[in-house]
Structure 1
Amino acid sequence: MLVKHLGMADYLATWQAMQTFTANRTAETPDELWILQHPPVYTMGLNGKPEHLPQNVQIPVVKIDRGGQITYHGPGQIVAYLLIDLKRKGIGVRELVTAMEQSVKALLSSYHIQSENLQNAPGVYVDGKKIAALGLRIKHGCSYHGLSLNVDMDLSPFLAINPCGYPGLEVTQTSELGIGDSIDLITTRLVSAIEQTLG
């Protein structure tokens, strides 16, 4: 899997790049893992409902083609996009979702932090607070979009929405859990966890 570090990248341009990559890939195209951060943006999935939208905020809302409801991306959050040929790899969507969750849980476990999954609420949680969100799109057997991990960011924009469609759902981040490592180091460890989990 080819890992690309894209730095701080515009959301819309990145989404369009993922679509183009997926549309143009062939059976020989290597899988890629894109690691980046986004300027402040809300993204609304295919199942998004108007009541979950933010009210009277200056942050843009982009309606996109992944599953799920609404979430927030911003500086201080690691975003990992998994562009994988699932048919070639011999795994299904559920297995990929599980692998993403397990990658985050393995990372947190390496810092001695216990995390969990909640039924009917994809993502990773610590003490009931969401620390990582997941969302995928599968086209022609290939995935794009991926996961986001809150590291050291302004969490207040989450207060303006129902995160992932759950009113009152609290969010947290690694910096609030006693992890003092830099976002660069945590990124390195997350990439390693994803690579190990996906083989």
Structure 2
Amino acid sequence: MSSTLNIRHLGLVDYHQTYEAMQRFTDQRTSDTADEIWLLEHPPVFTQGRAGKEEHLLTMSDIPVVQSDRGGQVTYHGPGQLTAYVLIDVKRRASGVRDLVTTIEQAIVRLLADFDIDASAKADAPGVYVQDDKIASLGLRIRKGCSFHGLALNIDMDMTPFLQINPCGYSGLKMIQMSDFCTELPSVDEVGSQLAEKFIQLLNYQQVEHYQGLPVEVYNDV
């Protein structure tokens, strides 16, 4: 079993480009391919999961709405939010999807604890919450026993687009961010690196490599 994790720092990147790259990476990977986590931000975009219902998009605006094959309903991505795509061979690790979801949630909870934010997961609603308010969303897709898509952690962003939707399909759900609790925060990429460290600890990776940009095998195609 590969014990290597590649961490890619992508910066601000287009959703379509990254979505297509995730699919290509997953389709091309083999049993020897190292797991990866992609840390990034997206320009403003609403994404609708496979089970997404139009009724949860409350108003239209100039923010595009993109259909996605991840799980879940509608959510919003924008600058100031950390998006982490978790590209893990779940089958190779001999763990289940529920175990991976729990690991992602616990990584976020541990990260937030470092900032004195008391957060937790809920058994019946994927994501991470501070009491009943949601600070991080989660949606995965499994293909060939491997995961892609991942999580979105609100750090310091314009939250008003969330008012245009029922976040994750829940009417009245309040979305919050780290800046509601912290007056000083590191950059999105720095928070992403700290989150990746939590994954390394929880999943017991022995070797970690850091990269800038997409993998070579998908870069020329997107």
Q: Which TM class, normalised by the smaller chain length?
A: over 0.9
Query: For each residue in 1:65-98, what CA deviation from the matched residue of structure 2 results, as whole angstroms up to 9, or x when unmatched?
Result: 0110000000000010011111111111000000
SS of 1:114's equivalent in the other structure is coil
Q: Equivalent residue for 1:61?
A: 65
| Shift in CA distance, 163/16, structure 1 to aligned 2, threshold 3 Å | same
Q: How many residues were matched structurally?
A: 199
Deviation at 1:179, TM superposition (A): 5.0
Deviation at 1:118, TM superposition (A): 2.4
| Shift in CA distance, 86/179, structure 1 to aligned 2, threshold 3 Å | farther
Show structure 1 runs of 5+ residues with no match: none
SS of 2:91's equivalent in the other structure is helix
CA distance in 1, matches of 2:186, 2:76: 21
2:24 is aligned with 1:17: no
CA distance in 2, matches of 1:197, 1:157: 33
Deviation at 1:109, TM superposition (A): 1.1
Q: Equivalent residue for 2:193?
A: 188
One-letter amino acid of the structure 2 residue matched with residue 86 of structure 1: V
CA distance in 2, matches of 1:21, 1:5: 16
C-alpha contact (below 8 Å) 1:111/1:179 kept by paired residues: no
Q: Equivalent residue for 1:121?
A: 125
2:193 is aligned with 1:198: no
CA distance in 1, matches of 2:182, 2:57: 31
List structure 1 runs of 4+ shifted beyond 6 angstroms: none
2:120 is aligned with 1:108: no
Q: Equivalent residue for 1:82?
A: 86
Query: For each residue in 1:14-67, what CA deviation from the matched residue of structure 2 results, as whole angstroms up to 9, or x when unmatched?
Result: 000000000011111111110000000000001101100242211000011011
CA distance in 2, matches of 1:179, 1:114: 16
Q: Equivalent residue for 1:150?
A: 154
| Shift in CA distance, 179/103, structure 1 to aligned 2, threshold 3 Å | farther
| Shift in CA distance, 169/37, structure 1 to aligned 2, threshold 3 Å | same
CA distance in 1, matches of 2:169, 2:198: 28
Deviation at 1:189, TM superposition (A): 1.3
Q: Cα RMSD (Å) of the superposition?
A: 1.0
RCO comparison, higher one (Cα < 8 Å, 6+): 2
Provide the TM-score with structure 2 as the length reference: 0.87
2:180 equivalent among 172, 176, 189: 176
Q: Equivalent residue for 1:70?
A: 74
C-alpha contact (below 8 Å) 2:84/2:192 kept by paired residues: no
SS of 1:80's equivalent in the other structure is strand
C-alpha contact (below 8 Å) 1:41/1:59 kept by paired residues: yes
One-letter amino acid of the structure 2 residue matched with residue 108 of structure 1: L
CA distance in 2, matches of 1:182, 1:109: 15
